[in-house]
Amino acid sequence: MEELALLGGKPVLPESLPPYRSVGRAEREAALRVLDSGCLSGFYGSWCEEFHGGPRVRELEAAWRARFGVRYALSVNSATSGLIAAMGAIGVEPGDEVIVPPWTMSATVVAPLFYGGIPVFADIESDTFCLDVEKVRTAIGPRTRAILAVDLFGHPARLAELRKLADERGIYLVEDAAQAPLAEEDGRLAGTIGHVGVYSLNHHKHIHCGEGGILVTDDDRLAERLALLRNHAESVVGPKGTEDITNLVGFNFRLTELSAAVATVQLARIDEHVGRRVKVAETMRAALVDLEGLRPPVVREGCRHVYYVWALSIDARELGVSRDAFCRALAAEGFPHNAGYVNPLYRLPLFQRRTAFGKKGHPFHLSNVEYGRTDCPVVERLQAESLVMFEPCAYELTRERVGRLVRAVHKVHALRDRIPKGERPK
């Protein structure tokens, strides 16, 4: 009989998985053409045609508009920049509240702070890990300016419902779709259902150009404000350039021509890049769905999940061993994963100490919102004892390697009674 690698047996994956490399010859050629042109960025920080970027930036934006079916797509140098610009474009004012989930990349919840906005955390659904609409509804108050929803792990949040709620209350829905290009809810693309959507082109995302981001909107006024914020705004645009630019202090969030050229090549193959992860994820799901105590990713009806993260939820009582003990055995088999995602973000020191800028508690002194250490019970439980994450984006996964990943889980599951009980399941 086979033995667990944890107890000296042979690991199912003796070699580490090679990293996935999505850039190839076409990206190299595109980058070289830009280098040969001598123009590595086409932006000018003054109100002229080049205010909106160079030829490669515009080409990328046109291709993004076409693929995502939106009226406006604006490139930025990161999704983090995009989120900050979105907060500025919708007019977050000091003391305004923005409802956010506690499980996301920190950039989501930090973005409102730059405008003095106060993040208010709402708990998530235990199966899709995205915002719970009822929790959002009760979190809305007189000072709420926006809901900042995250399509976490590549699964769309309840976007249509959140948009309806936002419209009813006269607030904005901003979508952080950094992890979810081509995810869908009822045939509509994640990122395009809110008033503004943000995608990431950083090295770890489905498609990338090193660093970069894309903002999308169908709203003329928001698009103009985003374009201004990206490129120094009121400091360089006189009153004749645009109508009202008060309260638009700008940034340099501009994407280079080099990055844009690479991103355009990646975008042309986005269906392939995304499709390959979906296939891996679905194969793994189908092979593991019947194992007692383990729950592979759930896809809500009418949705397309694009699996930035492939998340396994563990029911430790049903399984008979704790998540962490199971993970130790899985790691020994060579299955790369993480026990839990990030600590719920309200635990960040800036929230716990209620000070983001300076020593006087800015911007929290403008608000009565408090942050505990265990504010959202669903996310607390998932992080402490249930979630296991695997990143199908990160590895070059052949059919053979996917087979081994699946076998590793089956093996640990079958032999789980032998795992030394470091801790008892609660």
Ligand X SMILES: *Cc1c(COP(=O)(O)O)cnc(C)c1O
List all residues 6 or more positions away from 267 whose beta carbon is below 8 Å from its beta carbon. Answer: 60, 63, 64, 67, 207
Residues 64-103 within binding reach of ligand X (CB under 6 A): 78-80
Q: Output 200 or 256, the one with its CB closest to ligand X.
A: 200
Shortest reach from residue 145's CB to ligand X, in Å: 19
Which residue reads 């998340």 in tokens?
311
256 near ligand X (CB under 6 A)? no
176 near ligand X (CB under 6 A)? yes
Minimal CA–CA distance to 16: which of 231, 310, 331?
A: 331
108 near ligand X (CB under 6 A)? yes
202 near ligand X (CB under 6 A)? yes
Q: How far is CA 331 from CA 5, 110, 298, 412, in A?
A: 9, 33, 23, 10
Shortest reach from residue 152's CB to ligand X, in Å: 7
Q: Output 97 or 176, the one with its CB closest to ligand X.
A: 176
Q: Output 179 or 383, the one with its CB closest to ligand X.
A: 179
Q: Report d(CA 92, CA 83) in Å as an integer.
A: 12
- Report the run of H or E that residue 138 belongs to, with start and end: helix 133-139
128 near ligand X (CB under 6 A)? no
- Structure token digits, residue 254: 């501009």
Q: Output 41 or 75, the one with its CB closest to ligand X.
A: 75
Residues 316-355 within binding reach of ligand X (CB under 6 A): none
Strand, coil or helix: 176:
strand
CB 31 within 8 A of CB 261: yes
Minimal CA–CA distance to 426: which of 388, 372, 377, 381?
A: 381
By CB under 6 A, how many residues form the interface with ligand X?
14
Shortest reach from residue 168's CB to ligand X, in Å: 26
311 near ligand X (CB under 6 A)? no
Tell me the pairing of strands 213-217 and 196-200: antiparallel
- Which of 150, 193, 350, 379 is the binder for ligand X (CB under 6 A)? 150
- Structure token digits, residue 143: 């000072």
178 near ligand X (CB under 6 A)? yes
Residues that bind ligand X (CB under 6 A): 78-80, 104-105, 107-108, 150, 176, 178-179, 200, 202, 213
